[in-house]
Chains A and B, each alone.
Chain A
């Protein structure tokens, strides 16, 4: 179980492979659910050239650890991984990676969905977009359901 804030761009699929190999759980997991959130170049009808992602150092890390622990307590999981960017992000950069390994798909799907929805609705991160019209804070996340 691992969660981490990253200040530099990361390649989610390389991270996933590296983590999975280090887990030493080959043969035990039958289901891996993966979510990658990436930056788009358009939001609310305006082109977005970059974004600044802010967090609350200390509280954000603690919150990610808490939801990871909650998922481990509520579903039958072998492992989970959360990586989340902060700082300056550009279109197509990965913002978040959530991966969950379990024996069967039910636990993997449900736990990964739980982690993403908690992260989007409660983890203290904020996005400020740079558009052709200037800077603006993103005020709300879109609904997940």
Chain B
């Protein structure tokens, strides 16, 4: 299955890229998507995660074609 991964703001700069595409042969959680997309970097404590543009937690399962995003605490307004 294919998963689109996105990184935003300071996290994008730390990782050094804004997106990645994963080809996985087995079901993954959001935390496992992070590990595969970042070469096993440690998941930041305050990271926020979204699957298909909805907030989720790191244990949420990911399906084929999903978009998973990781970003730091938000600072809009």
Contact = CB atoms under 8 A, between A and B. Distances in A.
Contacts of B77: 37, 84, 95-96, 116, 119-120, 123, 125, 141
A56 interface: yes
Contacts of A139: 10, 72-73, 75
Nearest to A118: B77
B35 interface: no
B75 A125 contact: yes
Interface residues of A, number: 27
How many interface residues does chain B have, given as a range? 10 to 19
Q: Which of A95, A123, A124, A139 has the most CB of B within 10 A?
A: A124
Contacts of A53: 76
A130 to B, nearest CB: 15
Q: Sorted from nearest, which 9 A-B pairs have the closest CB atoms?
A: A125-B76, A126-B9, A59-B53, A120-B77, A138-B75, A137-B10, A127-B75, A96-B77, A119-B77
Interface of B: 6, 8-10, 48, 50, 53, 55, 69, 71-77
